[in-house]
């Protein structure tokens, strides 16, 4: 499979940045003053935006962990590992100095700044207009995706949309309201859609389907179901299809298959094992694999909600000899423990179908809602349902989302956007041994702002409760 390899210069642009958002801009600009003069250099800049998705604070670890551990889907088996960084997510005792959240903030803004640089420079590059449009659409999508993750994690965040030439440009700005950030995300994705191709020869590139699907998810996150549905319907008309065998979806020999709409690319044994992911090591049971940390493991509860006839239980979740569940969506590296080759899926067709089912249910179109939820159930070997009550149908869709997408970084955000997080997690804590002291409060629905950002710029205020 083709992969987006990241040129050394592009990596240096990103890795040379300091850990503080407001201090990254001058260092980047100094190095890019004489760069981006032709199409080849522009391509390196675009690849650098893609590279940021592979960072720990993005899809290598942070998004899959933050999107699952606070929910009833996964837990931290060994909280003492990594200084309770992941365990804090499990018990809602997250502190502003949590290193994973600091990485999420830093790595997303590094990617956003790199996107800003490319979009600022691309207009002056001599290149084929069609190629220029496609690259513009890709980078707009990636910037929107990063802001989407940031606003879901932190709420209000600084909205930085221009390449900064001066450290003072955004110092003192503070945080932009979540509504304004969401407005920007919607606008970016709508602008990107007509620029993007339906398909691409280079795997891992953004296509029209990715922008349509993420826009639909953004709109649903804002309870704009009627607006979301037409965009999701357009995804169905593109060249995607559900795989008949759920084992094949995450098989590393079957990467970038017809169900995958967008994923973050990783590969083992490349560039001194530097293109792989730590996810398998970090998210495997302690003792199961060399250096395994026991973070983000499927709960016994989620394993037990699968019925015997549901193919997904054994295709998505395994059990160790000690009956500890682990994710089969990640493949054990064959080279080094931190050199995993499993791609991290951002969006796939099953997710889109379940979002469509939810939109139809919200519109009280019971027939179509049942139709789309049954596409997922039938693929899993389950009988069709015909649920006529809207509330019961929405519950069934939520259950199918929980099972189908387990471990992919969606469950926590689903609970928050549907207003079910406090109720579901309170019940989960009551019924789960070892969580008797765990409590979720309304302020826990978003995470604390990293303390180092507040220390850098006092205009950035902490979220209430932290």
Q: Any idea where the domains of the chain sit in the sequence? A: 1-130+153-168+410-446
Q: What is the 3-state secondary structure of the chain?
A: CCCCCCCHHHHHHHHCCCCCHHHHHHHHHHHHCCCCCCHHHHHHHHHHHHHHCCCHHHHHCHHHHHCCCCCCCEECCCCCHHHHCCHHHHHCCCCCCCHHHHHHHHHHHHHHHHHHHHHHHHHHCCCCHHHHHHHHHHHHHHHHHHHHHHHHHHCCECCCCCCCCCCCCCCCCCCECHHHHHHHHHHHHHHHHHHCCCCCCCCCCCCHHHHHHHHHHHHHHCCCHHHHHHHHHHHHCCCCCCCCCHHHCCCHHHCCCCCEEEEECCCCCCCCCCCCECHHHHCCCCCCCCCCCCCCEECHHHHHCCCCCCHHHHHHEEECCCCCEEECCCCCCCCCCCCECCCEEEEEHHHHHHHHHHHHHHCCCHHHHHHHHHHHHHHCCCCCCCCCCHHHHHHHHHHHHHHHCCCCCCHHHHHHHCCCHHHHHHHHHHHCCCCCCCCCCHHHHCCCCCHHHHHHCCCCCCCCCC
- Residue 439 pLDDT: 97
- Residue 170 pLDDT: 75
- Residue 256 pLDDT: 95
What's the whole-model pTM score? 0.93
Which residue ranges in the chain fall short of pLDDT 50? Answer: 1-30
- Residue 22 pLDDT: 30
């Amino acid at each position: 499979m083709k992969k987006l390899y990241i040129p050394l210069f592009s990596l240096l642009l990103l890795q040379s940045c300091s850990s503080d958002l407001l201090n990254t801009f001058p260092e980047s600009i100094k190095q890019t003053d004489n760069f981006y003069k032709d199409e080849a250099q522009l391509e390196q800049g675009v690849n650098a935006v893609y590279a940021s998705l592979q960072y720990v604070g993005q899809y290598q670890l942070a998004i899959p962990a933050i999107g699952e551990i606070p929910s009833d889907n996964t837990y931290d088996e060994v909280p003492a590992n990594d200084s309770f960084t992941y365990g804090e997510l499990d018990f809602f005792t997250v502190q502003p100095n949590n290193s994973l959240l600091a990485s999420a903030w830093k790595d997303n803004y590094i990617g956003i700044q790199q996107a800003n640089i490319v979009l600022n420079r691309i207009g002056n590059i001599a290149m084929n207009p069609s190629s220029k449009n496609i690259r513009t659409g890709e980078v707009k999508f990636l910037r929107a995706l990063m802001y989407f993750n940031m606003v879901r994690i932190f709420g209000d965040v600084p909205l930085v949309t221009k390449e900064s030439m001066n450290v003072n440009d955004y110092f003192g700005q503070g945080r932009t309201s979540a509504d304004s950030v969401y407005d920007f995300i919607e606008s970016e994705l709508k602008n990107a859609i007509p620029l993007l191709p339906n398909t691409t020869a280079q795997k891992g590139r953004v296509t029209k389907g990715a922008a349509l699907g993420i826009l639909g998810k953004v709109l649903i996150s804002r309870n704009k179901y009627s607006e979301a549905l037409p965009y999701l319907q357009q995804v169905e008309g593109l060249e995607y299809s559900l795989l008949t065998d759920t084992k094949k979806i995450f098989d590393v020999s079957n990467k970038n298959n017809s169900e995958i709409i967008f994923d973050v690319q990783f590969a083992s044994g490349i560039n001194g094992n530097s293109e792989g992911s730590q996810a398998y090591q970090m998210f495997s049971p302690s003792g199961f694999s060399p250096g395994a940390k026991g973070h983000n493991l499927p709960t016994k509860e989620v394993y037990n909600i699968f019925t015997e006839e549901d193919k997904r239980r054994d295709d998505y979740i395994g059990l160790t000899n000690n009956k500890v569940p682990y994710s089969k969506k990640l493949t054990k590296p064959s080279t080094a423990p931190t050199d995993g080759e499993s791609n991290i899926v951002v969006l796939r067709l099953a997710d889109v179908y379940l979002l469509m089912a939810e939109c139809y249910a919200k519109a009280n179109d019971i027939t179509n809602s049942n139709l789309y939820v049954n596409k997922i159930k039938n693929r899993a070997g389950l009988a069709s349902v015909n649920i006529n009550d809207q509330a019961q149908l929405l519950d069934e869709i939520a259950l199918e989302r929980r099972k189908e997408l387990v471990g992919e970084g969606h469950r926590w955000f689903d609970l928050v956007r549907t207003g079910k997080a406090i109720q579901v997690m309170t019940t989960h804590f009551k019924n789960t041994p070892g969580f008797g002291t765990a409590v979720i409060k309304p302020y826990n629905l978003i995470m604390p702002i990293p303390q180092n950002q507040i220390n850098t710029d006092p205009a950035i205020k902490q979220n209430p409760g932290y």
